[in-house]
Homo-oligomer: A and B are copies of this chain.
């Protein structure tokens, strides 16, 4: 039998985060439960709570890892519009592909290490274009909010079939709203407005 108490040190915050990352990648975020995670580690469910404050706390760290691997644009900072577009789109894609990440970004302002690194990089680029620090912050915030808002809708777009309202014109266009292309169009508006 596998009963008996697990030895001390079996559970560690790092181990929990590792296991959670693996499980999320393998089974998908929505199929990961604290109970399942615990049994994966061979411990009782409540043992996890010595090392993470809550499931959300755990997710914060899992998502920071994902973000740190994926946020960086490939292009050079010299073409600021291209670079900013890529930075925004990388986050959008991450949020859409990883429901866990979307959950985290919608739950609270994300200030994990990777998020801060990304923010600082974006502000650095914007500062070269805009000069004024106040404007830099405004611009960054606008792009960030747009990105998260867009990702939220794109991710949640499982067709709602009927509506009971006949506006087929309206219903029809709702389908095509949340696409990566639409994202870049809106972002272009935003950057147009930002550019001095």
Could you mark each residue 177-196 of chain A with 1 if its beta carbon is under 8 Å from any beta carbon of chain B, else 0? 11000100111111111100
B residues within 8 A CB of A164? 113
- The answer to the question of A156 belonging to the interface, with a C-beta cut-off of 8 Å to chain B, is yes
* B113 & A165 in contact (Cβ 8 Å cutoff): yes
- Once A138-B186, A170-B120 are accepted as A-B contacts, the answer to whether A160 and B106 lie under 8 Å apart by CB is no
B residues within 8 A CB of A21? none
Cα–Cα, bound, A139→B185 (Å): 9
B residues within 8 A CB of A34? none
Could you mark each residue 57-68 of chain A with 1 if its beta carbon is under 8 Å from any beta carbon of chain B, else 0? 000000000000
Knowing that A107-B156, A111-B170, A191-B193 touch, tell me 9 more A-B residue pairs with CB under 8 angstroms. Answer: A106-B106, A108-B156, A109-B157, A111-B163, A141-B182, A142-B146, A189-B194, A190-B190, A190-B193
6 A-B pairs with CB atoms under 8 Å apart are A109-B174, A111-B165, A120-B170, A138-B185, A145-B186, A152-B152
